[in-house]
Structure 1
Amino acid sequence: MITLTPDTRSLAVPPPASRSKRRWKRMSQTEIASGVLILIVIGCFVVPEILPLAPASGGSLADARLPPLSPGHLLGTDPLGNDMLSRTLYGGRVSFIVGVGATLIGLVVGGVLGMLAGYRGGWVEKVLGWIFDVLLAFPALVLALTIAAYLGPSLMNEIYAVSIFLIPATARIARASTMSVRKEEFIVAARLAGVRESTIVRRHVIPNITSPLLTFAILQCGTAMIIEATLSFLGLGIRPPAPSWGNMMASGQQSLGDQPWVVLVPGIFLFVTIGALNLLGESLRQARDER
């Protein structure tokens, strides 16, 4: 008589200790990323208001090209004598305002359009899906550059230019999530019970697609800040003397050989911010997938 023994390796369930270890690692990543972001936001929006920092523009040429850790200039000065710490903190405000503003516009407009396409289906989904695909077919940077050049350099125009790229990407996530929720049994039961469509969308669809949209929005915020820095670097964003991380790196490239801190300081702040946003978004995505 032949006894068939199941392959226990294929039926193995990760031990509780392994799951706890992964959960603890993810929580640590989330806490670290959140802490870094909170510190940077406080530094950009709160510190300049409560500490007597040197002015971000209109510095003295007598203080030009001072290295980091100079008296009164913790991160040194640029070729015009402007304090690098002040300019970096004030420049971070622009990056956060554009990043968060463009992300919110993309989240609201793209979320509504994507939810409409996924819930209604039919020709509405086909038309909106075609529009999303056309917009996504353009390279993100080229599309943002074209819109920013047409609108002109300003803070609000930067937000509009970046949000045009974020809207179709967010809409596709919203459409896919809505199409998945639309097939659930509780949606079918609500329709059979005669619940109005607006009530179904408000009570059942929106709460179930909010989590993936918010996770995606955190990742998109980092992308928006990169595009903003690129626009400012190319002269299509905030113009000097108003600081932004992008135009600070652009103005400092002439002095990169003998004053590398002029480019490295805003570059490091941008790098750390984007890294923290990506780490936070990835941690939240993993937590959602495990649920």
Structure 2
Amino acid sequence: MTDHQPGTVYLVGAGPGDPELLTVKAHRLLQTCDALVYDSLVPKEVLDLVSPACERQFVGKRRGHHSVPQPSTNAVLVEMAQKHRCVVRLKGGDPFLFGRGGEEAAYLAQRQIPVEVVPGVTAGIAAPAYAGIPVTHRAAGSSVTFVTGHEEIDKRRPSVNWRSLAAASDGLVIYMGLHNLPRIAEELMAGGLSPETPVAVIQQGTVAGQRCLKAQLVDVADKTRAEAFKSPSIVVVGQVIDQQVEACRPMPAAVTMPIPF
């Protein structure tokens, strides 16, 4: 490719881990791309779909480890687009849901690099589904909020108001919330949620090692600590957990997700 004819960057959702949950378009692009830029939470079985001739670049982020800064990832995408016709930026879940896909799309568009989004199945729906938990249910609530639990609750200007969310939604699906779960639970109870509100924590959703813990809001942090739950885990809060249907649970795929520490 030349500087005047950059390739296309596809922001592709890899889904929650089970390779069979890839979209048809994502599968096709993985098999035909010239370059791959990928994150931490992509299992080997998905990476194996890519041609050995494809140029690969890892840009994952992990808690407590040196991470690739977002500006460096942006620069890698531009570099790859100048060299290759088809670049896949592979992200766990969906690229536009807590995946910084919007930032990367804007950065590329500002530099006149063609960019296309390929949505993926998000873990916030898939992990509860593989545990038999519907995130909405007519008998248990008509609203659900997807929220990140990654930010530090004690920072000066938190963008997530957990006390307001306690009264604003029938159910919560919390991404990256395991580390802050003790304080999240405290804030939700301070906002009016009953200590007996049911909570489910699903670790390694859709893949080998999946397990689900059910508890009450008041003791969920202690129970997840006692059971040594690790990331990646999805936390579901609300009465929908009482609608769990064991019979409809799919079998997790026989693949293992990388665990970000």
Normalised to the residue count of structure 1, the TM-score between the two structures is: 0.24
Structure having the higher Rg: 1
Normalised to the residue count of structure 2, the TM-score between the two structures is: 0.26
Return the structure number with greater helix share.
1
